């Protein structure tokens, strides 16, 4: 069964994983006293929170496929937040996104100069950018807005309803809403799947649409073009690439600058769409979570998107879970997920992971049984707990670029 699953195209495997995830939510929702797990509003918030995480993770993919570890994604995202807000206030929404990309690219350029030219340790350079970015944006805010932490309100680029599937308009004519009709049939699982899908397709930000479109574009660019082949050589066998006449340093610079630009776009989305202003601390560690999505997705665009949606779902659910019942239901989701992870680890004779998954699964199930709701601190920390658990259980099965993080000097073999 597993062998046949691995024979499927990557997009088909990720689609099956997502469909199974919705099935798990439907089962838990049938047992628990909540309907929020598959609501349209939950799916909409999931996508909104997933976009900056995905863009940061996709930026990390470009950089790390070229062999440069980019811990500085958080700082580049913060630069994109500030420059995006300033551009939106000064020139309008679309210019705000473009200027936010430019701000992130400045952070990427700084990281490239430090790591590629001066051979600074990649982790040290990234941490330095993460420290510098908040300080720089605080200084700029004081100088321009007379406030160290908050900007005036920004403008957004707007959203779009997909015609026929989510009731969008076609030349002024309002099309049917197929997914709404299916959700109203109240068919077990199918209606829940339709609700979640409708949340992704109705009121969808143009930035989210651009971000999703970047998945097939990135697959084509990195795995189907000469540019992508040369970029991947930089992260696998740079000496072999140099022997073929490839300018490894140039491609590393390009990859890291693109990485910063994508993280900057994610930051601009936060300040123009997610919060409607620049505010210090609003990044909420999404650059770091983007790195976790990158690892979860095995350095592939589709996997990064699914990881971002997973983390975004937990954030979005927490926003809508005012009484704690949905977070309580997530305990049962966690227990079932741990059971699956434990079984998977057992079949691969990974005793430590099997024991850890069993302990966590039993603990989550016991908590779900003895409590009716969960405290607010659990809802607030759940997204970060999910990040840590994903890294604990899945980091060992992944294959990172061979030369990731290794210093490169021209002419050395």
Q: Per-residue pLDDT tens for 183-228?
A: 888 898 999 999 999 989 988 999 999 999 999 999 999 999 999 9
Q: Is 333 helix (H, G, I), strand (E, B) or coil?
A: helix
Greater pLDDT, 11 or 89: 89
Is position 127 within any domain? yes
Is position 181 within any domain? no
Residues 371 and 270 in one domain: no
Is position 167 within any domain? no
| Lowest-confidence region among 101-115, 221-235, 291-305, 319-333 | 319-333
Q: Model confidence at 112, in pLDDT bands (50, 70, 90)?
A: very high
Residues 110 and 253 in one domain: yes
> Residue 88's domain spans which residues?
39-160+203-314
Total domains present in the chain: 2
Residues 13 and 56 in one domain: no
Is position 195 within any domain? no
Q: Which of 172, 156, 169 is nearest to 202 (CA)?
A: 169
Tell whether the model's pLDDT for residue 159 goes beyond 80: yes
Is position 121 within any domain? yes
Q: Model confidence at 413, in pLDDT bands (50, 70, 90)?
A: low
Residues 351 and 302 in one domain: no
Residue 6 has a pLDDT of: 64
The chain-wide mean pLDDT, for the chain, equals 88
- Output the six-digit token pair for 143: 């100088």
- Average pLDDT on 27-47 reads 86
Residues 13 and 54 in one domain: no
Residues 286 and 384 in one domain: no
Q: Model confidence at 4, in pLDDT bands (50, 70, 90)?
A: low
Contact 63, 250 (CB under 8 A): no
pLDDT in tens, 370-391: 988 777 777 667 767 776 777 7
Is position 19 within any domain? yes
- Contact residues for 143 (Cβ-Cβ < 8 A; gap 6+): none
pTM of the model: 0.92
End residue of a domain, out of 314, 346, 364: 314
Query: Measured between alpha carbons, how far is 283 from 267 in angstroms, rounded to an integer?
Result: 7
Residues 273 and 366 in one domain: no
End residue of a domain, out of 314, 343, 362: 314
- Output the six-digit token pair for 201: 């397709």
Please give the helix or strand (H or E) that residue 170 lies within, else none. strand 169-170
Query: Measured between alpha carbons, how far is 85 from 189 in angstroms, rounded to an integer?
Result: 41
Residues 265 and 279 in one domain: yes
Residues 87 and 105 in one domain: yes
Tell whether the model's pLDDT for residue 100 goes beyond 80: yes
Domain CATH number, residue 138: 1.10.3470.10
| Lowest-confidence region among 15-24, 45-54, 112-121 | 15-24
Is position 197 within any domain? no
Residues 229 and 340 in one domain: no
Residues 262 and 131 in one domain: yes
End residue of a domain, out of 314, 333, 352: 314
The region, left, alpha or beta by phi > 0 then psi within -120 to 50, assigned to residue 281 is left
Tell whether the model's pLDDT for residue 301 goes beyond 70: yes
Helix/strand/coil percentages in the chain, nearest 5? 75, 0, 25
Residue 2 has a pLDDT of: 52
Partnered with residue 174 across adjacent β-strands are 169
Residues 354 and 253 in one domain: no
Query: Measured between alpha carbons, how far is 177 from 161 in angstroms, rounded to an integer?
Result: 10
Contact 48, 214 (CB under 8 A): no
């Amino acid at each position: 069964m597993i062998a046949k699953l691995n024979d499927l195209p990557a997009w088909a495997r990720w689609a099956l994983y997502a469909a199974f995830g919705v099935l798990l939510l439907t089962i838990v929702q049938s047992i628990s006293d909540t309907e929020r797990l598959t609501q349209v509003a939950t799916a909409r918030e999931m996508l909104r929170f997933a976009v900056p995480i995905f863009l940061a993770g996709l930026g990390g993919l470009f950089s790390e496929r070229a062999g440069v570890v980019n811990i500085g994604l958080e700082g580049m995202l913060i630069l994109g937040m500030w420059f995006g807000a300033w551009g939106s206030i000064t020139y309008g929404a679309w210019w705000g996104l473009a200027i936010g990309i430019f701000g992130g690219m400045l952070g990427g350029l700084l990281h490239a100069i430090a790591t590629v030219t001066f051979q600074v340790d990649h982790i040290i350079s990234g941490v330095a950018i993460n420290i510098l970015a908040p300080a720089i944006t605080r200084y700029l805010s004081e100088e321009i807005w007379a406030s160290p932490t908050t900007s005036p309100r920004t403008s957004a680029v707007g959203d779009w309803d997909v015609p026929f599937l989510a009731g969008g308009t076609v030349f002024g004519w309002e099309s049917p809403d197929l997914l709404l009709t299916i959700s109203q049939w109240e068919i077990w699982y199918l209606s829940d799947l339709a609700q979640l899908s409708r949340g992704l397709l109705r009121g969808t930000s143009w930035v989210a649409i651009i971000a999703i479109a970047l998945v097939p574009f990135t697959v084509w660019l990195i795995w189907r073009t000469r540019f992508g082949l040369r970029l991947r050589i930089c992260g696998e066998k740079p000496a072999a690439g140099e022997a073929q006449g490839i300018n490894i340093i140039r491609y590393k610079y390009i990859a890291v600058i693109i990485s910063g630009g994508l993280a900057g776009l994610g930051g601009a989305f936060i300040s123009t769409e997610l919060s409607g202003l620049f505010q210090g601390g609003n990044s909420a560690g999404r650059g770091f979570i983007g790195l976790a999505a990158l690892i979860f997705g095995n350095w592939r665009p589709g996997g990064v998107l699914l990881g971002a949606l997973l983390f975004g779902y937990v954030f979005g659910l927490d926003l809508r879970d005012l009484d704690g019942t949905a977070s309580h239901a997530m305990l049962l989701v966690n227990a079932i997920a741990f059971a699956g992870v434990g079984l998977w680890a057992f079949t691969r004779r990974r005793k430590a992971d099997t024991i850890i998954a069993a302990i966590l699964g039993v603990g989550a199930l016991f908590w779900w049984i003895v409590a009716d709701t969960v405290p607010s601190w659990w809802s607030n920390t759940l997204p970060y707990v999910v990040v840590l658990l994903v890294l604990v259980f899945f980091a060992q099965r992944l294959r990172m670029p061979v030369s990731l993080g290794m210093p490169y000097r021209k002419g050395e073999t």
